[in-house]
Amino acid sequence: MGDCVQLKLQANIEEEAAMATYSIGDFSRREILRMSTILGATSVVSTKFAFAQTALQRTPGQILGPFYPVKPFDQNADLTKVAGRPGRAEGEILNVMGRVLNLKGEPVRSAKVEVWQANAHGRYTHPSDTNPAPLDPNFEGSAVLTTDSEGRYRFKTIKPAAYPVGPNTIRPAHIHFEVYGRQDRLVTQMYFEGNPYNNADRFLQSAGRTELLITKLLPPPPEFEPESKLVLFDIVLYAG
């Protein structure tokens, strides 16, 4: 099994123990027991993960883009709901999670992780976005998270749509990340396997190691909504 797969498997095993913006104490005993069942392979993977730590590569950088949020980021791990509004965002539900690590494989604790994205129609909640696609009143599309003691983060969102950036250019679906560690800052984007616009996207292809940015939609663990998907995305900084 490849290094990247082992790293993502370790993240899948560990990140369920705590949400990025909450401590394990916020979960009920029943939830913790359910997580323990899923994460039972921890001891098996730990030794293999030690090998994966020796081969990490920095996550490729990407452009910040023109739609960095102008309003303050919400400190909220659930982007599918807007405070004070009864509805829910349109689109396929994604549970995105991973770890922020340095090149040695050490967790970057208390890293700030900003995320922002387009909605399920390919429109950003940003005054400069002139895309005629509709806005979603139940989706503002941004949040700020803080990694826990193991470098883990987690948030719930919807899968964004591709969108036009000119008469002949379509950007593939992606989610923006800006990560602040103790020493490093990284701006990057997370993409989705199988998107028909990936191969033609000059920003993604400029990354070189595109496999470090392209994620798979995985079946959800039992405690997640059955129609949702799990997405694993580890972010590697130089020093942390």
Using DSSP's 3-state secondary structure scheme, residue 74 falls into: coil
Predicted confidence at residue 101, as pLDDT, reads 98
**Phi and psi of 64, rounded to 5°?**
-70, -35
pTM flag (> 0.95): no
Reduced DSSP (H G I as helix, E B as strand, rest coil) percent helix, strand, coil of the chain, to 5? 20, 25, 55
Q: The domain containing residue 152 runs over which residues?
A: 57-236
The whole-number average pLDDT for the span 116-145 is 97
pLDDT-based confidence at residue 23 (cuts at 50, 70, 90): very low
Instruction: Look at residues 62, 54, 17 and name the one whose alpha carbon lies nearest to residue 153.
Output: 17
pLDDT at 9 over 70: no
| Residue 5 pLDDT | 38
CA-closest candidate to residue 111, choices 147, 73, 76, 154: 147
**Residue 46 within any structural domain of the chain:** no
Average pLDDT over residues 224-236: 97
**Res. 166 pLDDT band, cuts 50 70 90:** confident
CATH number of the domain bearing residue 168: 2.60.130.10
Residue 114 included in any domain: yes
pLDDT of 154: 98
Residue 33 belongs to a domain: no
Q: Let me know if residue 22 belongs to a domain.
A: no
Q: Calculate the alpha carbon distances from 118 to 69, 195, 228 in Å.
A: 11, 15, 18
Decide if 172 is inside a domain: yes
pLDDT band at residue 190 under the 50/70/90 scheme: very high
How much is the mean pLDDT over the chain?
A: 84
Query: Is the distance from CB of 163 to CB of 170 less than 8 angstroms?
Result: yes
Kindly state the helix (H) or strand (E) to which residue 174 belongs, with its residue range. Answer: strand 174-180
Domain count, the chain: 1
pLDDT for 96-112, tens place per residue? 999 999 999 999 999 99
Whether residue 132 is contained in a domain is answered as yes
Instruction: Give the per-residue pLDDT at 55.
Output: 73
Is 18 within a domain?
A: no
Active-site residue numbers?
Answer: 124, 163, 171, 174, 176
Return the minimum-mean-pLDDT range out of 45-49, 174-178, 228-232: 45-49
